Amino acid sequence: MGKKPEYLLFDLDGTLVDSVADLTNSLNLLADELKFPRLTRERVKSIIGDGVSKLIKRAYGEESYTQEQLFRFLAIYGEHLLDNTCCYPGVKELLTSHPAEKLALVTNKPHQLTMKLLAGLDLLKHFKIVIGGDSFSEKKPHPLPVQKALEALGAEPDQAVMIGDHHTDLHSGKGAGTAICFCNYGLGNTGGVVPDFTAQSSTDLLQLFCGSAS
């Protein structure tokens, strides 16, 4: 890559925050209600990233999926999403080093839960635009959410980087024409997509994309 990206677009789970414990707990509380087997933390880590309906289908089986399960999970998780979830090391320093006008959040998590989580961790102030998995007609890996974030930021694709831990993030950014950064410390994999940047740890993001908020 040549010049350092001016605008940073972030995924949430597995990129900025470690939410596995609360997602696992919430899925298992619902599993208990449904008389389904409980899931291990490692299993939950492997099924996060493609939106909440896919999460439910993978957790309990696609053949038994109902919308009632989805709504119940959202209610349970809404009560527990801040029990253990926290920022990865260096994340707050990274966000603070950039003006909010240059930062966007693009997640497949439902928008309402995303806003509650960001507010609870005092992160909301860092983003000019927050896009959830239900904000538009398409979610990642489709490029539309990234394109909408770029519009809101007033940024050209070649000025921006999409930063995430899942191939959905990489496909979405690549499709929208941004640079892409893979967070190898997170929950997902590249799916064979070659990133422009790689962060082996969350603190690597500080070295790759340090800025000045002034």
Q: Residue 126's CB: how many other CB atoms inside 10 A?
A: 23
- Name the band, by pLDDT with cuts 50, 70 and 90, for residue 60: very high
pLDDT at 214: 42
Q: Which two tokens stand for residue 81?
A: 């999403």
Q: Which two tokens stand for residue 114?
A: 């995303």
Q: Are the beta carbons of 42 and 25 closer than 8 angstroms?
A: no
pTM: 0.95
Strand partners, 213: none
Q: Give the DSSP H or E segment for 180.
A: strand 179-183
What value does the mean pLDDT of the chain take?
96
pLDDT at 198: 98
**Parallel, antiparallel or unpaired: strands 129-131 and 160-164:** unpaired
pLDDT at 1: 47
- Domains of the chain, start order: 7-18+85-209 (3.40.50.1000), 20-80 (1.10.150)
**Per-residue pLDDT at 109 exceeds 90:** yes
pLDDT tens profile 9-42: 999 999 999 999 999 999 999 999 999 999 999 9
Which residues lie below 8 Å from residue 36, measured CB to CB, with a gap of 6+?
Answer: 30, 60
Query: Which residues are known to be catalytic?
Result: 11
